[in-house]
């Protein structure tokens, strides 16, 4: 096994991709300026490109998806307002409670259904009347894809209409919206229809090293720019990162279909193993249930073969730019070897 981490097959997340030579060339060639003064041409180009691609007036480059979502929450909501989100939503569960801690914004989490949606009745019931006992319901925040599942246009259309009818704004955590776009075969603009803002991760399946963009109208992006400065996200000569991000959006979106195919290939192979229960992946995220007693041994055998994964009884594996179909076959071979032997051993004991 090489010590060079880049030769590992890393199934932990699609955040682990490294810039390709062509992306590095784009970074190297980027024109730079001070983005806090609005002077970085490469950042400006990325923001204009993203705004146009997703059909918004303006966009803002942020160092992470967590910050980009937080900028949106802080810009839509004020102190004593609340946002409605899924129990499983990244904005609620995986961002350190940032909206509450830094914005005095109360989350109103609601159960996610098995398909990733929040039932419309639940949303309607959670929107509070104008009464000083209650926080002011201000925003509906959805996530697409969520746990690798794609929300349909029909659903996002109905949910955003409901929110607007009741006077709420809408935000989409579109960290992996490009996976949904490719899966549904729709345009980026269609995918975000009905959302007043969207945050898109460039550093996940799209393969940029760093960054997200927040898109919205000019007033929202002006607010978000103030918050970004306050949160320490105002970067100076950030054009190299923006150039990587622009390369990712421009050249590496359509190829997400390969990640989806590889996820399907992995799921198909894993289904041949009796000890596993495998969910059918919709995009690039696969969940498999395995016996808890198998985890440590499987983890160790995978590592011996240069494969890194988070091996848990409810195991998530993510395909991406740096994983080929041949890599998937290697992973499957190790799983099969392990479970053949494991079965034999457990039968003996
Ligand atoms: C990864 C992710 C984020 C946050 O992105 P970071 O760049 O890691 O901060 C937000 N939402 C979802 C759904 C994500 O998967």
Q: What's the pLDDT tens digit per position in 123-165? A: 999 999 999 999 999 999 999 999 999 999 999 999 999 999 9
Expressed in angstroms and rounded, the spacing between residue 130 Cα and the centre of ligand 1 is 33
CATH number at residue 216: 3.40.640.10
Mean pLDDT computed over 55-60: 98
Expressed in angstroms and rounded, the spacing between residue 71 Cα and the centre of ligand 1 is 13
Pocket test for ligand 1, best of 64, 201, 206 (most atoms within 8 A of CB): 201
Q: Domain for residue 5, yes or no?
A: no
The atom number, within ligand 1, closest to the CA of 64 reads 7
Judgement on whether residues 178 and 280 belong to the same structural domain of the protein: no
What is the structure's pLDDT at 7?
85
Q: How many domains does the chain have?
A: 2
Whole-angstrom distance, CA of residue 6 vs CA of residue 310:
17
Expressed in angstroms and rounded, the spacing between residue 174 Cα and the centre of ligand 1 is 9
Whole-angstrom distance, CA of residue 83 vs CA of residue 97:
12
Judgement on whether residues 107 and 144 belong to the same structural domain of the protein: yes
Mean pLDDT computed over 321-336: 98
Residues whose beta carbon lies within 6 Å of some atom of ligand 1: 64-66, 69, 90, 143, 173, 175, 201, 203, 212
Boundaries of domain holding 97: 21-251
pLDDT digits (tens, 9 = 90+) for 70-90: 999 999 999 999 999 999 999
> What is the percent of the chain with per-residue pLDDT over 90, rounded to a whole number?
95
Q: Bridge partners of 137?
A: 82
What is the structure's pLDDT at 5?
62
The last residue of one of the domains, among 251, 284, 300, is 251
Judgement on whether residues 192 and 293 belong to the same structural domain of the protein: no
Name the residue at shortest CA distance from atom 4 of ligand 1: 65
Average pLDDT across the chain, whole number: 96
In Å, the largest CA–CA distance within the chain is 70
Q: Domain for residue 219, yes or no?
A: yes
The last residue of one of the domains, among 251, 280, 309, is 251
Pocket test for ligand 1, best of 89, 94, 112 (most atoms within 8 A of CB): 94
Pocket test for ligand 1, best of 63, 73, 173 (most atoms within 8 A of CB): 173
The atom number, within ligand 1, closest to the CA of 146 reads 13
The last residue of one of the domains, among 234, 251, 268, is 251
CATH number at residue 286: 3.90.1150.10
Judgement on whether residues 185 and 308 belong to the same structural domain of the protein: no
Judgement on whether residues 317 and 195 belong to the same structural domain of the protein: no
Judgement on whether residues 210 and 285 belong to the same structural domain of the protein: no
Q: Which pLDDT band, with edges at 50, 70 and 90, does 264 fall under?
A: very high
What is the structure's pLDDT at 1?
43
Q: Domain for residue 16, yes or no?
A: no
Judge whether residue 349 has pLDDT over 90.
no
What is the structure's pLDDT at 130?
94
Q: Domain for residue 336, yes or no?
A: yes
Judgement on whether residues 242 and 332 belong to the same structural domain of the protein: no
DSSP per-residue letters across 187-245:
-HHHHTTT-SEEEEESSSTT--SS-EEEEE-HHHHHHHHHHHHHTT---SSTHHHHHHH
Expressed in angstroms and rounded, the spacing between residue 175 Cα and the centre of ligand 1 is 6
Judge whether residue 344 has pLDDT over 90.
no
Q: Domain for residue 300, yes or no?
A: yes
Q: Domain for residue 268, yes or no?
A: yes
DSSP per-residue letters across 246-267:
HHHHHHSSTTHHHHHHHHHHHH
Judge whether residue 348 has pLDDT over 90.
no
Name the residue at shortest CA distance from atom 10 of ligand 1: 65
Judgement on whether residues 88 and 143 belong to the same structural domain of the protein: yes
pLDDT digits (tens, 9 = 90+) for 5-46: 668 999 999 999 999 999 999 999 999 999 999 999 999 999
Q: Domain for residue 10, yes or no?
A: no
Q: Which pLDDT band, with edges at 50, 70 and 90, does 2 fall under?
A: very low
Question: Which tokens sit at 87?
Answer: 């129990």
Judgement on whether residues 193 and 260 belong to the same structural domain of the protein: no
Q: Domain for residue 206, yes or no?
A: yes
């Amino acid at each position: 096994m090489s010590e060079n981490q880049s030769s590992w097959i890393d199934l932990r997340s699609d955040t682990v991709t490294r810039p390709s030579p062509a992306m590095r060339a784009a970074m190297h060639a980027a024109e730079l300026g001070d983005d806090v003064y609005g002077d970085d041409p490469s950042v400006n180009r990325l923001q204009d490109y993203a705004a146009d691609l997703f059909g918004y007036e303006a966009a803002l480059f942020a160092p992470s998806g967590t910050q980009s979502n937080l900028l949106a929450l802080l810009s839509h909501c004020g102190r004593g307002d609340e946002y409605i989100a899924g129990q499983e939503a990244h904005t609620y569960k995986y961002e350190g409670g940032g909206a509450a801690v830094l914005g005095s914004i109360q989350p109103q989490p609601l159960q996610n259904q098995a398909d990733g949606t929040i039932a419309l009745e639940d949303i309607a019931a959670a929107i509070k009347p104008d009464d000083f006992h209650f926080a002011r319901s201000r925003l509906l925040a959805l996530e697409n894809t969520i746990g690798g599942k794609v929300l349909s246009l029909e659903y996002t259309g109905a949910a955003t209409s409901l929110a607007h009818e009741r006077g709420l704004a809408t935000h989409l955590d579109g960290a992996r919206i490009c996976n949904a776009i490719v899966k549904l075969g729709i345009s980026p603009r269609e995918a975000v229809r009905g959302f007043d803002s969207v945050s898109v991760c460039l550093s996940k399946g799209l393969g940029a090293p760093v960054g997200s963009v927040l898109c919205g109208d000019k007033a929202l992006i002006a607010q978000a720019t103030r918050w970004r400065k306050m949160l320490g996200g105002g970067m100076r000569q950030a054009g190299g990162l923006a150039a990587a991000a622009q390369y990712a959006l421009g050249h590496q979106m359509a190829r997400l279909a390969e990640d989806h195919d590889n996820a399907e290939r992995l799921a198909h192979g894993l289904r041949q193993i009796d000890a596993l229960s495998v969910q059918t992946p919709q995009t690039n995220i696969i969940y498999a249930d395995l016996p808890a007693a198998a985890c440590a041994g499987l983890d160790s055998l995978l590592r011996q073969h240069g494969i890194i994964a988070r091996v848990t009884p409810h195991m998530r594996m993510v395909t991406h730019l740096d994983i080929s179909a041949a890599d998937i076959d290697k992973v499957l071979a190790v799983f099969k070897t392990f479970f053949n032997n494991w079965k034999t051993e457990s039968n003996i004991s």
